[in-house]
DNA sequence: GAGAATTTGTTCGTATGTATG
DNA sequence: CCATACATACGAACAAATTCT
């Protein structure tokens, strides 16, 4: 209809500016409107015009400002959400929670191996468990207040038919899980699933750090490996939506039995 | 309007069945329609009613079958895409490319550190470069046909003001990049960006493997570190959308200077 | 504490653009 | 060139969560 011409005009007029300076000219490829919007917003966030920690203007306002429909604006915001720049909450608004969508964020991993800990087909065999209170270095590494009580497990993880364990696991969980966990040995489920079941809280985020270490004698013995060999040490912290730490685990994986593989896919396409 | 009542009725009638058997009753929480749809489709994919490798029915057909708008159906499909179950292509259709949305896929990473290689604020200083033909072990590790020509770079990567390098990099790229790369030293850009610029091909996927190693003497010397220390060895393979290998890199990172951190977020929320 | 206002989430409808075969 | 199938974009309305009065 005639609204089409009006639309086109509006698009030219809409306040979408490319983020920084001259910029590559993608006009030949006709960037979709919502991507241009996302790019614009990203720029505003990066340079602080939309300050970190603050709320985005309401969607209807932003849509009006850009001269686009709310639907299109929401597509742009959804993209920023996927990139981890903002997080929206019903009834509240959209918070800016990251300032840099550095090129590193362009890729998103979605790999089966991402959480090897919960790989199906492995048995977790507990050989030690106890109740502990977080003190000193543990408390600080857990980023929790000292004195909080945890239930800790130590055990080996092995693939079903394997003769040697694949990893040594050390796990800290809510004390409420003690009974459940002691009752099942070996454990075939991902432990964080059990945490969700027992505590009723959903795990929304996992922070994972990978470091190289050299196997010390006691660890090597448990793993039936040679002391002095290289290994990966993976630390995982499991958080509830509100940011509360629900589980912490350390995993030691000898080099000859495990490599950590991820596939990163481009999400800009 | 009156269409509202009709809508509600339709919803009850729509062929959305929960995936498996009795199923948890979420009716009290009123699952959004598009999630129910996604769940239903996921079930059909898992049990083979929608066979792996085949195309989904066209969106308008599916929408009609479920008795929902195309928009809602697309929301469901978008979810399946994020989970990696299907992949859509304009003019062709939506292909089913995975049968299991196993729990491992629940989390998706989006981290600044994901591609430390390209972290801004690092300099890559080349100290060796050459043209090579892939043979033997290299060719096999590259998963490329032997005899293909590559341009290889060796260099150190350091943070801007640091006195010691952070990593030793070994990179294999298309020979067309030789001139460009030799002309710039140090390199501040991510190399895979340059690959995209020069070859005109987009990098759509990166396969990344992390292993622990022990620093040997020559490597330790270059890095100004101690031989025998633990380090991470990260291998990255960069692929075009069609699956052609465009770049391969090895990176060695001493434990005391680097830890690999990722944040995995729940995408089911 | 009830209720109004605000803000994001869901869902419909419709039209047009663009890539593929 | 045409038909097909996904992609983008408009508009409108109601639902649900939160906050403020």
β partners of residue B129:
B153
Question: Is A61 domain-assigned?
Answer: yes
Phi-psi category of residue A207: left, alpha or beta, with phi > 0 → left and psi -120 to 50 → alpha: beta
β partners of residue B156:
B125, B168
On whether the CB atoms of residues B170 and B250 are closer than 8 A, the answer is yes
CA distance A214 to B180: 40
- For B137-195, write each residue's pLDDT tens digit: 777 766 666 667 889 999 998 877 677 888 999 999 988 888 888 877 777 777 877 78
Which of A96, A131, A150 is at the close of a domain? A96
Verify that B87 and B124 share a domain, yes or no.
no
CA distance A183 to A186: 9
Please calculate the CA angle B242-B244-B246 and round it to the nearest 5 degrees.
Answer: 130
Q: Report residue A226 as tokens.
A: 């040679």
User: What is the per-residue pLDDT for A231?
Assistant: 95
Closest residue (Cα, C1') to C13: B69
Nearest nucleotide to the CA of B3, by C1', is C12
Instruction: For residue B112, list chain A residues with Cβ-Cβ distance below 8 A.
Output: 100, 102, 104-105
Phi-psi category of residue B23: left, alpha or beta, with phi > 0 → left and psi -120 to 50 → alpha: left
Pairs of CB atoms within 8 A across A/B: 151
CA of A93 to C1' of C14 (A): 29
- For A86-134, write each residue's pLDDT tens digit: 889 899 999 998 776 544 444 555 444 445 444 456 788 899 999 888 7
* B108-126 burial: b if 16+ Cβ within 10 Å, else e: bbbbbbbbbbbbeebbbeb
**Separation in Å, CA A99 to CA A51, A88, B97, B159:** 8, 15, 34, 21
- For A173-218, write each residue's pLDDT tens digit: 988 888 888 888 788 777 887 888 888 777 877 888 889 999 999 9
Q: Which CATH number is A259's domain given?
A: 3.40.1410.10
Q: Is A71 helix (H, G, I), strand (E, B) or coil?
A: helix
Chain A residue with the nearest C-alpha to that of B197: A24
**Separation in Å, CA A117 to CA A175, A182, B248:** 20, 19, 28
Verify that B71 and B153 share a domain, yes or no.
no
What sections of chain A are H helices per DSSP?
3-13, 33-46, 59-66, 70-82, 136-141, 178-183, 191-199, 217-223
On whether the CB atoms of residues A45 and A105 are closer than 8 A, the answer is no
> B128: closest CA among B180, B190, B189, B170?
B170
- Sign of the alpha-carbon torsion through A109, A115, A118, A121: positive
Verify that A77 and A132 share a domain, yes or no.
no
CA distance A126 to A108: 34
Verify that A181 and A88 share a domain, yes or no.
no
Torsion of CA B248, A253, A104, A111, to 10 degrees: 80
Verify that B118 and B92 share a domain, yes or no.
no
Claim: this prediction has a pTM higher than 0.75 = no
Q: Is strand D less than 7 A from the beta carbon of A29?
A: no
Average pLDDT along chain A: 78
Nearest nucleotide to the CA of A32, by C1', is D8
Q: Tokens 């006691």: give the residue.
A: A218
Q: Is B243 helix (H, G, I), strand (E, B) or coil?
A: coil
Instruction: For residue A118, list chain B residues with Cβ-Cβ distance below 8 A.
Output: 103-104
Verify that B170 and B253 share a domain, yes or no.
yes
CA distance A76 to B19: 32
Q: Judged by CB atoms within 8 Å, which residues 246-265 of B form the interface with A?
A: 255, 259-265
- For A76-91, write each residue's pLDDT tens digit: 999 898 877 888 989 9
Question: Is B149 domain-assigned?
Answer: yes
Which of B42, B61, B96 is at the close of a domain? B96
Verify that B81 and B160 share a domain, yes or no.
no
Average pLDDT along chain B: 77
**Separation in Å, CA A48 to CA A39, A43, A54, B79:** 14, 8, 10, 31
- For B77-106, write each residue's pLDDT tens digit: 998 988 778 888 889 999 998 776 654 456
Predicted confidence band at B5 (pLDDT cuts at 50, 70, 90)?
very low
Verify that A149 and A261 share a domain, yes or no.
yes
User: What is the per-residue pLDDT for B146?
Assistant: 61
Q: Does B83 touch chain A (CB under 8 A)?
A: yes
CA of A138 to C1' of C8 (A): 40
Question: Is B176 domain-assigned?
Answer: yes
Question: Is B22 domain-assigned?
Answer: yes
β partners of residue A184:
none
Peptide bond into A57 cis (omega under 30): no
Question: Is A104 domain-assigned?
Answer: no
Question: Is A105 domain-assigned?
Answer: no
Which of A61, A96, A131 is at the close of a domain? A96
> B87: closest CA among B100, B96, B76, B99?
B96
Phi-psi category of residue B227: left, alpha or beta, with phi > 0 → left and psi -120 to 50 → alpha: beta
Residues 2-61 of A with CB under 7 A from strand C: 4, 30, 55-56, 58-60
Share of chain A above pLDDT 90, in %: 33
Verify that B198 and B239 share a domain, yes or no.
yes
Question: Is B144 domain-assigned?
Answer: yes
Verify that B73 and B119 share a domain, yes or no.
no
Q: Judged by CB atoms within 8 Å, which residues 9-48 of B form the interface with A?
A: none
Residue ranges of E strands in A62-204: 86-89, 93-96, 107-109, 122-133, 149-159, 167-173
Q: Which CATH number is A29's domain given?
A: 1.10.10.10
- For B104-119, write each residue's pLDDT tens digit: 456 666 544 445 344 4
CB count in 10 Å sphere of residue A248: 22
Per the structure, the count of domains in chain A is: 2
Structural domain range at position B205:
112-266
Verify that A47 and A180 share a domain, yes or no.
no
Q: Is B264 helix (H, G, I), strand (E, B) or coil?
A: strand
What is the 3 state secondary structure string of B40-56? HHHHHHHCCCCCCCCEC
Instruction: For residue B110, list chain A residues with Cβ-Cβ distance below 8 A.
Output: 82-84, 105, 108
Verify that B128 and B247 share a domain, yes or no.
yes
């Amino acid at each position: 209809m005639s609204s089409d011409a009006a639309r086109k005009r509006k698009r030219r007029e809409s306040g979408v500016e490319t983020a920084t300076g001259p910029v590559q000219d993608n006009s030949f490829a006709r960037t979709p409107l919502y991507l241009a919007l996302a790019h614009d917003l990203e720029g505003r966030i990066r340079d602080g015009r939309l300050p970190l920690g603050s709320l985005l203007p309401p969607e209807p306002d932003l849509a009006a400002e850009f001269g686009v429909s709310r639907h299109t604006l929401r597509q742009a915001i959804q993209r920023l959400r996927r990139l981890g720049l903002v997080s929206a909450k019903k009834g509240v608004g959209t918070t800016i929670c990251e300032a840099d969508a550095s090129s590193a964020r362009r890729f998103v991993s979605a790999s089966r191996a991402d959480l090897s800990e919960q790989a199906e087909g492995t048995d977790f065999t507990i050989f030690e468990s106890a109740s502990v209170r977080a003190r000193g270095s543990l408390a600080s590494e857990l980023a929790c207040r000292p004195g909080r009580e945890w239930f800790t497990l130590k055990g080996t993880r092995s693939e079903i038919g394997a003769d040697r364990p694949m990893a040594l696991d050390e796990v800290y969980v809510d004390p409420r899980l003690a009974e459940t966990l002691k009752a099942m040995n070996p454990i075939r489920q991902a432990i964080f699933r059990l945490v969700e079941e027992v505590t009723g809280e959903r795990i929304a985020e996992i922070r994972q750090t990978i470091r190289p270490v050299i196997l010390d004698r006691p660890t090597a013995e448990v793993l039936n490996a040679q002391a002095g060999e290289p290994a990966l040490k993976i630390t995982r912290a499991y958080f509830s939506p509100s940011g509360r730490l629900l589980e912490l685990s350390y995993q030691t994986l000898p080099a000859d039995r495990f490599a950590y593989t991820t596939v990163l896919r481009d999400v800009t396409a």
